[in-house]
Amino acid sequence: MKALTAVGYGPLADLTFSDVDKPVPGPGQVLVRTEAVALNPLDVKLVLGSVREVFPVTHPFVVGIDVSGTVEAVGPDTIGYAPGDAVTAMNLGVAGAVAEYTLAQTGPLLTHRPEGVDARSAAALPAAGLTALSLLHHCVPVAGRDVLISGATGGVGSFAVQLFAAAGARVLATGRPDDTETVLGWGAHHVIDYTGGKTAQLARELVPGGVDVVLALAEDGAALPGIAAAAIDEGLVLTCTEQPTALERGVTVERVDLTARDGDLSGLAARVSLGELRVPVTGVYPFSEARTAYEDLVGKHTVGKLVVEF
């Protein structure tokens, strides 16, 4: 079968389409005929090798961790899935997704695709949606609290804006001026233009006392104190990217990683099918242009999710 592969750690330009063996589902696994794959920054980090100490990969390595498709076969002792089922999964550490066939493991990172949810939307949901949900779980209750989401136009941010607003938070979200209507449409109460590098200052103009919570989805470690200036004394800053160091004014800073509980992914998918949660897929590429899709993920301004379709 055809797959987009990396033969060693290196730049995205070195990704190549290769013929690799069709995977065989093991115990508790399903073989998925791929219909769509959503791109994530982690895919790129795995290719570059920048996270190799935490996530080492074996080469040749098939890229991609978010997939939707149709179950082709099931492995031994696989319960709850049968050939023909439409599914969506995050399959990090199980198999690469940007391939004609891939594997997924039964459990909280695999679910059926509800009626009315197309393959693109289903593929775009797992990693970004579950990370946004993990952030929400980390700071509930949020009703009535002011939450600044920096990086709101990205995959995680687009879901976080919606989930936090639906949970009753007053959401201040970053975006470029051209993205304002889109981000307001996701439920943000204010959109802050981050391009001038004054996000915290502009947030303070809107909420002079400071926001209760900052989701720092776009900041590296060096930029965390700057964005944390938007928070109230003894407020909370959450990051998904850095092991943070202590901040001033009693502001707590914590790293939150994707944690999926049973029912989280199926719950998100159900909310999509009910029209309660939008999946902003803003770029769709054919399989033959999958490498370009990755290059665009890092080289161009992205809003929401980019998807490769088979």
Out of 81, 174, 203, 230, name the contact with ligand NAP by CB under 6 A. 174
Shortest Å distance, C-beta 1 to ligand NAP: 27
240: contact with ligand NAP by CB under 6 A = yes
Which of these ranges, 92-100, 127-135, 266-274, 277-285, lies near ligand NAP under the rule CB under 6 A? 127-135
CA distance 191 to 62: 37
- Rank residues 5 and 158 by Cβ distance to ligand NAP and give the closer one: 158
Count of C-beta atoms within a 10 Å radius of residue 222:
8
- Rank residues 166 and 256 by Cβ distance to ligand NAP and give the closer one: 256
CA distance 259 to 256: 8
Out of 2, 17, 20, 42, name the contact with ligand NAP by CB under 6 A. 42
Q: What is the DSSP letter of 117?
A: -
Helix/strand/coil for 195: coil
Q: Are strands 305-309 and 29-38 parallel, antiparallel or unpaired?
A: antiparallel
State phi, psi for 36 to the nearest 5 degrees: -155, 150
- Rank residues 28 and 157 by Cβ distance to ligand NAP and give the closer one: 157
Which of these ranges, 89-97, 154-162, 183-191, 283-291, lies near ligand NAP under the rule CB under 6 A? 154-162
From residue 131 to residue 150, the character string flagging contacts with ligand NAP as x (rule: CB under 6 A) and all else as - is: x------------------x
CA distance 209 to 231: 8
Q: Dihedral of CA 150/199/297/55: which sign?
A: negative
23: contact with ligand NAP by CB under 6 A = no
Q: Please give the structure tokens belonging to residue 43.
A: 């895919």
By CB under 6 A, name the binding residues for ligand NAP. Answer: 40-42, 127-128, 131, 150-151, 153-157, 174, 194, 199, 217-218, 240-241, 257-258, 301-302
